[in-house]
């Protein structure tokens, strides 16, 4: 058991961290190549290469989503629960943008409502990614594999939705990455060993710390022994 | 190996939640697979019917060479001038499209 000030909590377990790597290696290249395909900034060969990378990364993303959903259904359920539960805290948090504008631009902290494991901004991102991501996966595979057999009007609207929802989620993802790096402790937890100090977790996710975590077996034994 | 003192409590997935997730995923995948296979089957059926129709027309046709086809010759005389004329090229000839270019 670590000292009081150095106590750590496992925030992201291995399966969730691996899935996040799946998103980094699958969704991120798909988003970047999606922008290239849309804007066509280079030669025809360059855009063609971008489309091939887009398909390859979408394949990786699809595999990651399927494996994570099957092997870690409890986390999927927990995620759906989290993004579906909105309280007055969330509305108040959204009204002040989580205090991030104050922190980043004005360099001062304002009181914000206590958050669970996901703050309200992450919940919004979760809602967009969950529904939009499913749409992108299905529409993408329809455009890739079934374009010759589905009605042209349907293809037009599927393509329209794939483009604009993809662009929206791409922009959201870049904002998510920026704020993720800003929250360095959580970023290190997600791409490191999954842990952060209890102090940091209490600062960002007080409701989660209060209600949803418990001491490990080893910690409990140490507490009893002392 | 990560060292930590606290861990998130186990998530208890209720039977209702399990059925919701599996049910929605199953329904979406089953419907998608059904629609996809139905579309492909329909497409194959129409291609076969079309090929069959063309073969039947060929069997019944008295004139089987285009240069002996009276209607075709009349069309060239009155409209498209001659085979490979600029107008014929424009109207009847397809162009190669490189389908490996995806972007």
Rounded CA separation A46/A43 (Å): 5
Q: Do B5 and A7 touch (CB under 8 A)?
A: yes
- DSSP class of residue B84 equals T
Q: Which residues of B touch A78 (CB under 8 A)?
A: 11
Cα nearest neighbour of A33 on chain B: B103
Under 8 Å between Cβ of A197 and A109: no
Per the DSSP assignment, residues forming a β-bridge with A160 are none
Instruction: Inform me whether the pLDDT recorded for A1 exceeds 80.
Output: no
**Mean pLDDT across the stretch A97-122?**
91
Q: Do A216 and B21 touch (CB under 8 A)?
A: no
CATH value at residue A175: 1.20.950.20
Q: Do B103 and A80 touch (CB under 8 A)?
A: no
Is residue A195 in a domain?
Answer: no
Cα nearest neighbour of B39 on chain A: A149
Q: Do A10 and B17 touch (CB under 8 A)?
A: no
Is residue A52 in a domain?
Answer: yes
Q: Do A213 and B6 touch (CB under 8 A)?
A: yes
Rounded CA separation A21/A63 (Å): 12
CA distance B46 to chain A (A): 11
Q: What is the pLDDT of residue A195?
A: 95
Q: Which helix (H) or strand (E) holds A215?
A: strand A213-215
Q: Most A CBs within 10 Å: which of B4, B11, B38, B101, as the mutation test of the A interface? A: B4
Per the DSSP assignment, residues forming a β-bridge with A196 are A9
Q: Which helix (H) or strand (E) holds A214?
A: strand A213-215
Q: What is the pLDDT of residue A71?
A: 92
A210: exposed, middle or buried (C-beta count within 10 Å: 0-12, 13-18, 19+)? exposed
Q: Which residues of A touch B19 (CB under 8 A)?
A: none
Reported as a single tens digit per residue, the pLDDT across B58-87 is 899 888 888 999 999 999 999 999 999 999
B43 touches chain A (CB under 8 A): yes
Under 8 Å between Cβ of B4 and A210: no
Instruction: Inform me whether the pLDDT recorded for A151 exceeds 70.
Output: yes
Which residues, at least 6 apart from B54, have a Cβ–Cβ distance to it below 8 Å? Answer: none
Under 8 Å between Cβ of A88 and A180: no
Tell me the two tokens of residue A221: 């034994």
Q: Which residues of A touch B100 (CB under 8 A)?
A: 48
Tell me which of A23-27, A55-59, B99-103 is least confident.
B99-103
- DSSP class of residue B62 equals S
Q: What value does the mean pLDDT of chain A take?
A: 92
Distances (CA, A) of A219 to A5, A192, A198: 14, 22, 13
Is residue A219 in a domain?
Answer: no
The shortest CB-CB distance from B5 to any of A1, A51, A76 is to A1
Instruction: Inform me whether the pLDDT recorded for A179 exceeds 80.
Output: yes
pTM across the whole model: 0.80
**Mean pLDDT across the stretch B91-101?**
83
Complex confidence, ipTM: 0.81
Which of B5, B31, B80, B89 lies closest to A10, judged by CA?
Answer: B5
Instruction: Inform me whether the pLDDT recorded for A47 exceeds 90.
Output: yes
Is residue A215 in a domain?
Answer: no
Q: What value does the mean pLDDT of chain B take?
A: 90
Which residues, at least 6 apart from B97, have a Cβ–Cβ distance to it below 8 Å? Answer: none
Rounded CA separation A169/A29 (Å): 13
B27 touches chain A (CB under 8 A): no
List the domain boundaries for chain B: 14-61, 65-97
Q: A132 lies in which domain range?
A: 13-184
Is residue A3 in a domain?
Answer: no
- Looking at the 3D structure of chain A, how many domains does it have? 1
Is residue A224 in a domain?
Answer: no
- Strand pairing class (B6-8; A8-10): parallel
Q: Which residues of B touch A73 (CB under 8 A)?
A: 13, 18, 21
Instruction: Taking the CA atoms of B12, B16, B18 and B24 in sequence, report the sign of the dihedral they define.
Output: negative
Is residue A211 in a domain?
Answer: no
Neighbours of A195 (CB within 10 A): 21
Rounded CA separation A118/A84 (Å): 11
Is residue A20 in a domain?
Answer: yes
B90 touches chain A (CB under 8 A): no
B91: exposed, middle or buried (C-beta count within 10 Å: 0-12, 13-18, 19+)? exposed
């Amino acid at each position: 058991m670590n000292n009081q000030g150095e106590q750590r909590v496992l925030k992201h377990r291995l399966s969730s961290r691996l899935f996040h790597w799946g998103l980094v290696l699958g969704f991120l290249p798909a988003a970047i190549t999606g922008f290239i395909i849309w804007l066509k900034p280079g030669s025809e060969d360059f855009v063609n290469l971008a489309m091939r990378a887009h398909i390859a990364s979408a394949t990786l993303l699809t595999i990651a989503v399927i494996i994570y959903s099957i092997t870690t259904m409890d986390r999927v359920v927990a995620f759906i629960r989290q993004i579906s539960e909105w309280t007055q805290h969330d509305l108040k948090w959204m009204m002040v943008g989580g205090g991030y504008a104050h922190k980043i631009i004005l360099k001062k902290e304002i009181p914000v409502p206590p958050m669970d494991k996901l703050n309200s901004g992450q919940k919004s991102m979760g809602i967009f990614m969950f529904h939009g991501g499913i749409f992108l996966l299905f529409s993408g595979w329809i455009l890739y594999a079934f374009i010759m057999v589905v009605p042209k009007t349907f293809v037009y609207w599927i393509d329209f939705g794939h483009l604009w929802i993809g662009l929206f989620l791409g922009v959201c993802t870049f904002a998510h990455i920026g704020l993720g790096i800003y929250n360095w402790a959580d970023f290190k937890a997600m791409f490191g060993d999954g842990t952060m100090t209890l102090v940091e977790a209490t600062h960002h996710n007080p409701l989660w710390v209060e209600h949803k975590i418990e001491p490990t077996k080893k910690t409990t034994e140490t507490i009893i022994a002392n | 190996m990560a060292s930590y003192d606290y861990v998130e409590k186990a998530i208890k997935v209720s039977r209702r939640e399990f059925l919701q997730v599996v049910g929605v995923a199953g329904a979406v995948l089953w419907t998608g697979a059904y629609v996809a296979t139905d579309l492909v089957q329909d497409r194959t059926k129409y291609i076969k019917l079309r090929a069959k129709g063309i073969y039947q027309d060929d069997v019944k046709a008295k004139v089987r060479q285009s240069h002996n086809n009276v209607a075709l010759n009349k069309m060239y005389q009155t409209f498209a001038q001659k085979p490979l004329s600029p107008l014929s090229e424009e109207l009847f000839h397809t162009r190669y499209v490189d389908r490996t270019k995806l972007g």
